[in-house]
């Protein structure tokens, strides 16, 4: 009888682990894949454990398995959403930092057109131009016109 009880208790855990493994592949893109997979797996396992506890307290072994499976699915979805939001927030922070370190100088051309030149601040007052050239301070249109003007 003891081995039957052990099997009944091990089955929900096995179901949770299988479900969390399947859900951990729900990443949206390779750059965010690790964070999303980790959040999904943690959410699935946490949801599965909570679902197993609730299912175990509600009724017999069938409810325990069902509770663990539903908890794992709900936890996986929640973990995926949290990890996706976290990855999106990190992307937005990185984009804001990149924007703060760039400056665009519009170079007026003799034909009336404008050439935008994007410069990247590299520290110590230095800026890098699109062709890799380094300026000791932020260059203006007169300094950039011979290089980028038409």
pLDDT in tens, 17-42: 555 555 444 444 555 667 666 666 77
pLDDT of residue 28: 46
Task: Measure CA 111 to chain center.
Answer: 45
Angle, CA of 21, 23 and 29, to the nearest 5°: 115
Tokens 């679902």 -> residue = 51
What phi and psi, each to the nearest 5 degrees, are found at residue 41?
-65, -45
**Kind and range of the H or E run holding 96:** helix 61-100
Chain-centroid distance of CA 80 in Å reads: 10
- Strands in 83-150 per DSSP E: 102-108, 114-123, 126-128, 134-135
- Mind listing the pLDDT tens digit for each residue in 97-120? 878 888 999 999 989 999 999 999
- For 49, phi then psi, to 5°, come to -65, -50
pLDDT in tens, 52-109: 666 666 656 666 677 777 777 777 777 777 878 888 888 899 888 878 888 999 999 9
The pLDDT assigned to 21 comes to 53
What is the pLDDT at residue 68? 72
Q: What is the pTM of this model?
A: 0.48
- Decide if pLDDT at 9 tops 90: no
């Amino acid at each position: 009888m003891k081995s039957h009880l052990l099997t009944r208790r091990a089955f929900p855990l096995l179901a949770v682990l299988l479900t969390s493994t399947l859900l951990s592949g729900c990443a949206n893109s390779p750059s965010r894949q690790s964070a999303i997979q980790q959040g999904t797996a943690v959410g699935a396992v946490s949801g599965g454990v909570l679902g197993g506890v609730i299912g175990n307290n509600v009724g017999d072994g069938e409810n325990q398995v069902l509770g663990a499976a539903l908890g794992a699915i709900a936890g996986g979805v929640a973990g995926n959403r949290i990890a996706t939001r976290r990855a999106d927030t990190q992307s937005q922070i990185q984009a804001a930092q990149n924007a703060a370190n760039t400056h665009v100088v519009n170079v007026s051309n003799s034909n009336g057109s404008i050439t935008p030149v994007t410069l990247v601040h590299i520290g110590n007052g230095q800026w890098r131009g699109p062709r890799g050239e380094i300026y000791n301070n932020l260059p203006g249109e007169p300094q950039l016109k011979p290089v980028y003007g038409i």
